[in-house]
Amino acid sequence: MDYVRVGEKVISIEKIHNKINDILELRCKGYSQQEVAKILDIDRTFISRLESMGEVRKGGDIAVVGFPIKNKEELEEKLKKAGVDFVLLMSEDERMDFVKRQSGQDLFNGIIELISEVRKYKHCIIIGSNKRIKVMADLLDGHVYTIDIGQSPIKEDVYVCPEKILEIVNMING
């Protein structure tokens, strides 16, 4: 057992760990904070603070961005059904059209606007070539999940397994 001295008190680190494990185990089983507090004879606000301190995410607020995607319609449909908030998928032809139909300044402004929009989401799944996913991940805040679909530059559409993306979405949503 590890012990520490705090002033005149001797504290068991193991006892603290065990109590925290008991709290989390009961909460995972579906007990309310109030019920756990009563069972373990501790203050409910301690449980609330403990959970807030360890919280990594609340779920929701997911964006998915990817190109060049062969099965983009199928993927879009499944992502929308799964509750994904923002989906931007392009085939190679759509991506090239997006680039070619705009002047340099308009293209730059369009890309900045898209980055600004995607940065609003807590979680972003990026699907693309190895170099592009790294650059995109560096530009975004929040939790970024990358799916590498090939070496840069990718010139043809790539099939992306919907189940692989939905697995990440489900993990985020809990």
pLDDT in tens, 93-146: 999 999 999 998 999 988 888 888 888 888 999 999 999 999 988 888 668 999
Q: Indicate whether this model's pTM tops 0.75.
A: no
**Per-residue confidence band for 57, with pLDDT thresholds at 50, 70 and 90:** very low
Using the structure block, give the residue that is written with the tokens 């990358």. Answer: 146
Q: Are residues 146 and 81 in the same domain?
A: yes
Q: Are residues 23 and 93 in the same domain?
A: no
Q: What's the pLDDT score for residue 120?
A: 83
Q: Are residues 108 and 39 in the same domain?
A: no
**Identity (one letter) of the amino acid at 37?**
A
Q: Are 154 and 130 in contact (CB under 8 A)?
A: no
Q: Are residues 48 and 66 in the same domain?
A: no
What is the rounded average pLDDT of the residues 153-157?
Answer: 94
Q: Are residues 79 and 153 in the same domain?
A: yes
How many domains would you assign to the chain?
2
Q: Which of 146, 142, 140, 143 is nearest to 164 (CA)?
A: 146
Instruction: Dump pLDDT digits (tens) for 85-103.
Output: 899 999 999 999 999 999 9
Q: Is the dihedral of CA 64, 69, 72, 75 positive or negative?
A: negative
Instruction: State the residue range of the domain holding 105.
Output: 62-173
Q: Which of 89, 94, 95, 91 is nearest to 158 (CA)?
A: 91
Percent of the chain at pLDDT > 90 equals 62
Q: What's the pLDDT score for residue 141?
A: 67
Q: Are residues 75 and 159 in the same domain?
A: yes
**Sheet-wide strand order for 123-128:** 86-89, 62-66, 123-128, 143-148
